[in-house]
A = this chain, B = another copy of it.
Amino acid sequence: MAGAERRTRMTPEERRKQLIALGVNALADRPLEEITIEFLASEAGVSRGLVFYYFNSKTGLHHELIQTARDSLMRATEPKPELPASQRLHDTLERFVGFARDHRQTFYSLVRGTASGDEDVRTIVEEVRSAQAERLSIMFHELGAEQTPRLQVALRAWVALAEQALVDGAVNHELTHDELVAFLERSCLAVVELAAHARG
């Protein structure tokens, strides 16, 4: 789609970024496995060889796309330190639900990592879950929660709950945006409360 005219003016870094952006955008509508070197070459209006030059293989391309998708999810859901701690969770969840709705396929690829049987993709998916749990841990620490192994288990488990709820509730449109945010917020608070008190 980018004409030959622009092509000659791009630096390698710009071209690389353009290709990744096209790939991530395409991920909004189709699963990762459909985004091939050929597909991207055609979208960008460049040769197959050029796309190969940047990514080496479909696997290399998929790693870049998943990493970029991860970065954009992490940015989109970054807790805002300027908000009072008590509002920070709600605000973050609003954006989490929004991301899952607006970037359906990207989100699905990210939380499942199933579109590729690739171990590196699965590692990235694991990292997202851990990073989200860690952010929550910091947020709740500021709200006075004690940092215990039980809290860590509870928060990682809650992130898994949130991912599944977002896949079923937002991606498959079972629930409204507000219902999902409310469910996630209250379940998160409930789970943190349980981790603080349940002793078996």
Contacts and interface: CB of A to CB of B under 8 A. Distances in A.
Interface string A107-119: 0000000101111
A190 interface: yes
A3 to B, nearest CB: 38
Interface stretch (A15-23, A80-88, A135-143, A178-186): A178-186
A188 to B, nearest CB: 10
B153 A159 contact: no
Contacts of A122: 114
A195 B183 contact: yes
Given A168-B156, A168-B157, A183 B150 contact: yes
Interface in A131-190: 149-150, 152-154, 156-165, 168-169, 174-183, 186-187, 190
A179 to B, nearest CB: 4
Main secondary structure on A side of the interface with B:
helix
Contacts of A41: none
Number of identical protomers: 2
Interface string A23-62: 0000000000000000000000000000000000000000
A75 interface: no
Nearest to A154: B183
A78 B122 CA distance: 30
Contacts of A118: 117
Nearest to A181: B200
Nearest to A123: B114
A180 B181 CA distance: 26
Interface of A: 114, 116-119, 122, 129, 149-150, 152-154, 156-165, 168-169, 174-183, 186-187, 190-191, 194-195, 198-200
Given A150-B175, A160-B164, A177-B200, 12 more contacts: A116-B117, A149-B174, A153-B175, A153-B183, A154-B183, A157-B161, A157-B164, A158-B161, A161-B161, A176-B200, A187-B194, A190-B194
